[in-house]
Amino acid sequence: MKVFQRVIDEGGFAAAARALDMSPAGVTRMVAALEDHLGVRLLQRTTRKLSLTDAGEAYLMRVRTILYEVEDAESAAAAHTRELQGTLHVLATPVLASYFLSPRIATWHTRHPKVLLDLAIDPFPQPRIEEFDVTFLVVDEGFDADIVARPLATTDWIVCASPDYLQRAGTPATPQALREHTYLKFQWPQNSGHYGRQARLHPLAGGDAVEVDVKPALQTTSFDVLLRAALDGAGITFLSRMLVAPHLARGTLVQVLPEWIFGRFTIYAALPTRKFMPARTRAFLDFLAEFAPQTQTVR
């Protein structure tokens, strides 16, 4: 069952074999033996693609739950006699991996040295929640998905630019003044609710949002690219306060229009199931919760 699940999660027999430190032939034999035992084909195999049959999809859903229960039982039985161990499969966006998780990895490893943190990166991770122990998402205030998720921190998306750029181009005093500036734009996905918008700013004091028709000089799906371009004086952009806080403190970036924000976003830890959470997953979430007083509202 574990081998079958890993074949799906890794996207193939060879990748699963590498992850499990087995031979590809051994992985293939185990999946074939499982299908023989069940009397049903679980996978459709072609030279280019591996996909689940209808029976395979139904079986995989039950297998994940069963394996979570087995891992949790093993962890609970051994909790008083040995340290946490095993692999914790985590999925995060690039910016969360770099700026939210990476600074905490050393402390986590010191506490739980036998847990392997397997961190995968995906700019848009939500469809893959069931494949990982924990999936970190950044969503806006309208988020209402049917998933099991724990909120960790909330941060504002603010307007910022470098002092050099503002010295050259001037500092906008109103949202409408952004029309006269070079705009560095994050390209949101089509299903995000922000796709196609030029700039929509919300007043912190309350009231109606303002739409500003700005023409981007750069658009990208990388927050690191936006941050680097803003630091180099390329223009004005919207970025998470959590991301730019060190640069604001050093003065290499300046917040513009401090009474306005692009939006307010929350970091969630999404779980594949409400039941049978392995002890290492629970310990990881509790560990991150220790930082909540510092980050619950990152303003």
Residue 76, pLDDT score: 65
- Largest Cα–Cα distance of the chain, in whole Å? 72
Domain ranges of the chain: 1-82, 84-299
Query: Do residues 14 and 23 touch, judged by C-beta distance below 8 A?
Result: no
Most trustworthy range by pLDDT among 139-143, 157-161, 276-280: 157-161
Can you give the pTM of this predicted structure?
Answer: 0.64
Average pLDDT, the chain: 85
Most trustworthy range by pLDDT among 215-219, 248-252, 285-289: 248-252
Residue 294, pLDDT score: 45
Lowest mean pLDDT among 124-128, 191-195, 205-209: 191-195
Architecture of domain 1-82: Orthogonal Bundle (1.10)
The class (CATH top level) of 84-299 is alpha beta
- Tell me the pLDDT tens digit for each residue of 66-81: 887 787 777 666 655 4
Query: Do residues 296 and 154 touch, judged by C-beta distance below 8 A?
Result: yes
Rounded Cα gap, residues 203 and 164, in angstroms = 26
- Tell me the pLDDT tens digit for each residue of 222-266: 889 999 999 999 999 999 998 899 999 999 999 999 999 988 888
Q: CA 222 → CA 25, 185, 236, 244, 264, distances in Å?
A: 39, 10, 15, 14, 19
